[in-house]
Structure 1
């Protein structure tokens, strides 16, 4: 089976993990802060907080921004359910903003229109969570301008996008991406995922980046049961160095040193991985040009991390037939994503099919083709050949 995504584990990765296994620390040792600092440095952010999954990172990010009952979080319907679920963990309510038909990201224009209406009804969001779908950056300057006007906070769900970057304008002198995703230039917090199918992996894990030391300190506390050893944070004088206090309800969301060592080793190859993804995507673009499919648009202002390569076919029936034919041929295509608002568990909140028509129309026709650094030219040829045969047979 040719998978749609796959980790690449090298001897250097194995050696890094082995070093931890032979050390005195497996969980809360020196490898985690080294990894946090390495990710923050790469993204030009001030602080990194590593946790056991991106879902955990999204949750503590929401908690750090005091999202709670009576509050609203808005996100994209074209995402994994974690982007919305993290708000519900906090007792908050969730709503969605439809996507841009070219980038498949949350539409800044749709967001502006929805905010204008929400202001009239007194239901403005406390947090907006743009999702950098497939690794392509959202229009963060536009979203940040709306945050300034309407007073909401921003968490970037960049689970697909470590290594991506964006430009500020389309001006001739600003065509090259200038800001790395994770720098938090236009957001409060950015979250990355290190699941094995993502750009780099820690086996499972995530990190939250921020430039705000208070947010970083609170997220660090929330990942460890809400416990502090800082005397300045305690409610009474500490009786000794053994003492700690739980000053709020937190969680056991810690990343292990084993995971962190793997992630730090992988991070050294991040730019190479993204370069390989771009080379494969460019080959897909060229080879698919004469087939009846829509290839993914890439905003010229930005550099995508290219976590996914989603194509669109003619209609739902074509998608079903093509998906099955490729799977039968040992090609592990996938679909990203079933719109969150159509999930049965979200129906209880009044969402229904038809609420976000652009996201739904995209979903009905999309297939994610294999794209990962270890995909060979021969494997890509096999994908393309079988896809062409299937589409020609219809």
Structure 2
């Protein structure tokens, strides 16, 4: 087979984003200003939620959500072990304990039954992670939260545009946090956002994303603004900039096409791999719109690391999502977690490989990936 290098992920950027960036640079508004405000309004309308607060990363979105909901030292927050470091780290940053609950074997999302088993008198919130772009069982999670008076902060880093029960993610939790990192389903270069229906939560988020100031830069320096401000509480420097929003505005216009393309490419993978005895393909639960930020397969008979190495030799770059939190030294040394605590997460991790999937990937590229998989598996026999 002729070696063809296919990257694991690439952002889709064209002239529309470039033109918006140029216009923004020439406008003189580089930090948070009119473009950021417009992006927030457009994203809120897309999601179908009252308020969106744009920030510089999903990590910032999660951190600010915990602060806005007054999660503090001594509290406990339940989340998935099968996630990126940011989800657990922000809990530790506010002095709370990340309480991990194992995942479902088919969706790789947090298991509501496991959430129930980990609730204590110190539990204040749940952070469900919509892994790979498939929504968690939000009905069960919301019922648990209501029964135990808990906040729900959704980690939707993978799930912009995803749907649960015909409603977009961002309309369910007390806050929902999105990522616009370059590999995500839409990008602002770096960036994130928080969606909420609660005006009081939104007001506090807007304040603490920028030092706790009573006015942001747009309200101080625009033609209708005033220079005067007050520091009303101790905040952070987490605001989005107009340069980031300039990328996000045209990206949002393309998002439905991005999702449609990802789902179509995922269906090609599905149809080719569904009957393969060596592979488990990702499931899509009824009543949920999976947006396929990732296409994670499980290898039943092939050592994962060797598979990735062999695929790289074929010119196909794959990845792994994720090393479970409880296997990292920090979580073991700080919170006492150890291997074996979350067997479902560990089993998925040991077998998981994320295949290339992004809008710029052609059907021919996908066929090349599939031929490479067949070749690698065949040579293992």
TM-score interval for Structure 1 and Structure 2 normalised by the shorter chain: over 0.9
1:100 to 96, 104, 117: 104
- 2:53 is paired with a residue of what secondary structure? strand
Q: Distance in 2 between matches of 1:270 and 1:289?
A: 27
Partner of residue 191, structure 1: 177
Runs of 5+ consecutive residues of structure 2 not aligned to the other structure: 217-224
Partner of residue 125, structure 2: 127
| TM superposition shift of 1:378 | 1.6
In structure 2, do the counterparts of structure 1 residues 287 and 137 end up closer, same or farther at CA, with 3 Å as the change threshold? Answer: same
Asked if the contact 2:297–2:354 (Cα under 8 Å) also holds between the matched residues in 1, the reply is yes
| TM superposition shift of 1:241 | 4.4
Q: Distance in 2 between matches of 1:195 and 1:105?
A: 21
Partner of residue 77, structure 1: 81
Instruction: Give the alignment's Cα RMSD to 1 decimal.
Output: 1.4
1:259 to 244, 247, 250: 244
Runs of 5+ consecutive residues of structure 1 not aligned to the other structure: 168-177, 231-239
Q: Distance in 1 between matches of 2:332 and 2:132?
A: 26
| TM superposition shift of 1:329 | 2.1
Partner of residue 155, structure 1: 153
In structure 2, do the counterparts of structure 1 residues 325 and 69 end up closer, same or farther at CA, with 3 Å as the change threshold? Answer: same
- 2:157 is paired with a residue of what secondary structure? coil
Q: Distance in 1 between matches of 2:273 and 2:226?
A: 64
**1:338 correspondence with 2:323:** yes
TM norm structure 2: 0.94
After superposition, give the CA deviation of every residue in 1:275-329 in whole Å (9 maximum; x if it has no partner): 00111000001111332100001102110111000000025x6212111111222
Partner of residue 282, structure 2: 296
1:1-394 maps to which residues of 2 (within 5 A)? 1-115=5-119, 118=120, 122-123=121-122, 125-167=123-165, 178-183=166-171, 185=172, 187-229=173-215, 241-291=226-276, 292-314=278-300, 318-348=303-333, 349-394=335-380
Runs of 4+ aligned structure 1 residues displaced above 3 Å come to: none
| TM superposition shift of 1:330 | 2.0
After superposition, give the CA deviation of every residue in 1:107-153 in whole Å (9 maximum; x if it has no partner): 112212333xx3xxx34x21100000000000111100001111110
After superposition, give the CA deviation of every residue in 1:209-237 in whole Å (9 maximum; x if it has no partner): 1111111111111111111149xxxxxxx
Q: Distance in 2 between matches of 1:114 and 1:156?
A: 18
Partner of residue 221, structure 2: none
After superposition, give the CA deviation of every residue in 1:3-24 in whole Å (9 maximum; x if it has no partner): 2221000111111111101102
Asked if the contact 2:47–2:169 (Cα under 8 Å) also holds between the matched residues in 1, the reply is yes
Q: Distance in 2 between matches of 1:179 and 1:229?
A: 33
Alignment length (residue pairs): 366
Q: Distance in 1 between matches of 2:300 and 2:41?
A: 46
- 2:279 is paired with a residue of what secondary structure? coil
